Amino acid sequence: MMNSGRLDELIQKYVQGNLAESELEELSLHLQKEEAVEERRKLRLALKADAYLEEAAAEMGQEADWNEPVTKGNVLSLKPRIWAMVGVAASIAAVITVSFLGWYYQPEVLPIENGLGVATVLRIDGKGHTRPQHPLSRGDALQAGDELTMSEGVIELVFRDSGVHAIATAPLTLTAESSERIFLHRGDIKLHVPPQGIGFVVETAEREITDLGTVFVVTARKKASQVFVLDGQVAIEKRGGNRGRLMTEGEVASFGQNGKLSLLTQKTDGMPELSQPSFDQSVQSLSGKIYSFGSDDLPQAPAMDDLMGLRFSSVIRSGFRDRSSLEGLDSGSPLRFAGIAGAYKQFAERSGLHPDVVSRAGWLTWYSGQLTPPGPGRYRFWGYADNNLLVAIDGKPVFDGSRYDSAFREIVHVPRQDHPAWPCLNALAGFASGPWIEVGDDPVQFDLLFGEKHGNLTFGLLLVEREGADYEKTFWGQPKWPLLLTEEPSETQRDELSQLRTHMEEKLMGSFSVSNDAIWDARITSLAR
């Protein structure tokens, strides 16, 4: 066991935000031990003390920044402002005060008191029970050792002492072993762990996941389990193991029956490919063309540069009016826009381009035409592509969802925010989002570039959000923004999109929706007619 002096030193450094990575690992490994109950409680009290002193400092006119972001270097980046000022003596006094004011970090609704179980049901939609067949309702308590079972629905729990907040979806079976540990046999659970809950453990048949101050999702199935870190860090280890591996924001990992860990951040194996609708000049739809180099201009080796992206630079800079730089390029059959979603395997070859050209010089599709938005208001685009994805409205680029090595990232400088906590296909940076744009009732000129710098396999996803719209969320918190479509999808397309969404949710922890209310109606198409 760690001696008391060393533990106090590490706890104080942790609260101050001065803990080195090696010290963080030392503290984490110690807190994971079964016998370290008092040490975990001591850390929670210290963090409560820091929070109490921050509140007191704020009342005296000093700023306490509760919105300080979580970083990968320090799981909870708490500044040493209070500890350095008042010292350990004040901290001990604060611990006594916080112990007296036990309500301070308890939930405002349905507070849990000692002796009333390890967790309380805040909300339940569906039928859930603990054995022997005790139906659960709002306000009920789970006792240590209770096995919670639900065949359908959602349940929301808060755990005593630790304050851990959990949302679980059925089919679900979990055992509430204590206020600091659960065993997830089956189901999906999202946990939000406050500072005083650090050290909370989720156990599955394959692994133990120990929280280090974070928000994370655990999925348990019959033959495997999965963990997805939304914020902060967790430590994962084999059951009965003595050394954990840290996972950080945006990482997804899967564990098979043998306990072998596989990071899934870039996993796109088996991603469905959507069938492309045939071009029909009688149908009012957004159309486009696919471009690549001619065989006479073919590079002798695979190009390191994004040749097609660079070739389109003058088109982009001219507001999509100057097409002179495209002279001499080969173009394939006319294309009918059906959204950007999923895998694109041999897409360029099927569209009429030569395989050698595609593998060496890549390709770009350009869709262009007049679109009428679903209604006036503010919109923004979400998505990602490997490699190129660019959207322009009335000649002005408004969204760049390209990968880091796309030439578009140098040609245009559209404000962009990456969201690693919301995985998108094989994007390490997660979903990208663009700035809000305002449109009226009139049609807008819409231009979209999508493609691959070299090779016959790429991935893409393009969604659109309307300000003020209410979107369903995944249980890990990502809104299901609708796919950008310009005509109502057929039943076959809907089935394919449903398969893609299921694949993303189960394998990549990403999602989207399909909505007729979000269609940008095509009025005029210009490239293929």
3-class DSSP state for residue 466? strand
The confidence band for 301, taking pLDDT boundaries of 50, 70 and 90, is: low
Rounded CA-CA distance 11/431 in Å is 35
The predicted structure's pLDDT at residue 208:
84
Give pLDDT, residue 515.
94
Domains 119-263 and 287-525 share a fold: yes
Range with the largest mean pLDDT of 12-16, 199-203, 253-257, 345-349: 199-203
Question: According to DSSP H, which parts of 69-153 are helical?
Answer: 81-100
Domain boundaries, the chain: 4-100, 119-263, 287-525
Separation CA 57–CA 262 (nearest Å) = 45
pLDDT at position 88, please? 34
36-51 pLDDT tens trace: 767 766 666 565 455 4
> Does residue 412 register a pLDDT over 60?
yes
* Contacts with 494 (C-beta within 8 Å, 6 or more apart), sequence order: 514
**Peptide bond before 195: cis, by omega within 30 degrees of 0?**
no
Residue 259's pLDDT is what? 58
pTM, whole model, 2 decimals? 0.62
The pLDDT value given to residue 64: 32
CA angle 186, 189, 192 (to 5 degrees): 155
- Contact present, 315 and 326 (Cβ < 8 Å): yes
Mean pLDDT of the chain: 78
Q: What local confidence, expressed as pLDDT, does residue 243 receive?
A: 52
Look at residue 361 and give its three-state secondary structure: helix
Residues ≥6 apart with Cβ < 8 Å to 227: 207, 209, 216, 217, 218, 219, 234, 236, 247, 252, 253
> For 119-263, which CATH class?
mainly beta
Query: Residue 12 carries which DSSP code?
Result: H
Contacts of 61 (CB under 8 A, 6+ apart): none
Provide the pLDDT confidence category of residue 68 given band limits of 50, 70 and 90.
very low
Q: What is the pLDDT of residue 495?
A: 92
Structure tokens at 512: 């989207």
Could you tell me what percent of the chain has a pLDDT over 70? 74
The rounded distance, in Å, linking the Cα atoms of 25 and 39 is 15
Rounded to a whole number of angstroms, the CA Rg of the chain reads 27
pLDDT for 169 beyond 80: yes
Task: Look at residue 15 in the predicted model and tell me its pLDDT.
Answer: 65
What average pLDDT does the segment 434-452 reach?
96
Lowest mean pLDDT among 192-206, 299-313, 453-467: 299-313
| pLDDT beyond 60 at 309 | yes
Mean pLDDT of the region 459-465: 96
Q: Select from 408, 406, 407 the least CA-distant residue to 398.
A: 408
| CB distance 156 to 166 below 8 Å | yes
CATH number 1.10.3470 given to 287-525: no
Distance CA 146, CA 132 (A): 9
pLDDT of residue 270: 67
3-class DSSP state for residue 137?
A: coil
pLDDT at 520 over 50: yes
Per-residue exposure over 167-202, b if at least 16 CB sit within 10 Å of its own CB, e if not = bbbbebbbbbebbbbbbbbbbbbbbbbbbbbbbbbb
pLDDT (average), residues 160-175: 89
pLDDT reported for residue 132: 66
Q: What is the mean pLDDT of residues 342-349?
A: 87
The token pair that represents 146 in the structure block: 């209770």
